[in-house]
């Protein structure tokens, strides 16, 4: 899954990196997924994430992805602009 997220308030790149690292660590620990910031690393206002869930069933992986989206929306002052789900 790919997420394009807008940061609705001004931050420095140093603040953004610390914020994103903390968020990714929490998501990794809570949901046992692989997640990276894959683009927009030098853009103050945007976060682009890619994450992968390994599961035996599609419904289980979709449920985990939905929980991650809810977690981000409920715990961070961010706006998810785009969600791209892929299955393989």
pLDDT at 88 over 70: no
CA distance 28 to 20: 12
- The kind and range of the H/E element at 52 are strand 46-52
Model confidence pLDDT, tens digit, residues 1-28: 999 999 988 789 999 999 999 999 999 9
Model confidence pLDDT, tens digit, residues 40-65: 888 889 999 999 999 899 899 999 99
> Do residues 24 and 36 lie in contact, with contact meaning Cβ atoms separated by under 8 Å?
yes
Q: pTM for the complete prediction?
A: 0.87
Q: Walk across the sheet containing 79-84 and list its strands.
A: 34-39, 46-52, 2-6, 79-84
């Amino acid at each position: 899954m790919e997420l394009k997220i807008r940061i609705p308030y001004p931050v420095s790149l140093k603040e953004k990196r610390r914020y994103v690292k903390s968020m990714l660590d929490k998501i990794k620990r809570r949901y046992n997924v692989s997640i990276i910031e894959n683009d927009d690393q030098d853009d103050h206002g945007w976060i682009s994430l890619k994450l992968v869930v390994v599961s035996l069933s599609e419904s289980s992986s979709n449920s985990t992805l939905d929980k991650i989206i809810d977690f981000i929306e409920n715990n961070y002052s961010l706006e998810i602009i785009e969600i791209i789900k892929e299955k393989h």
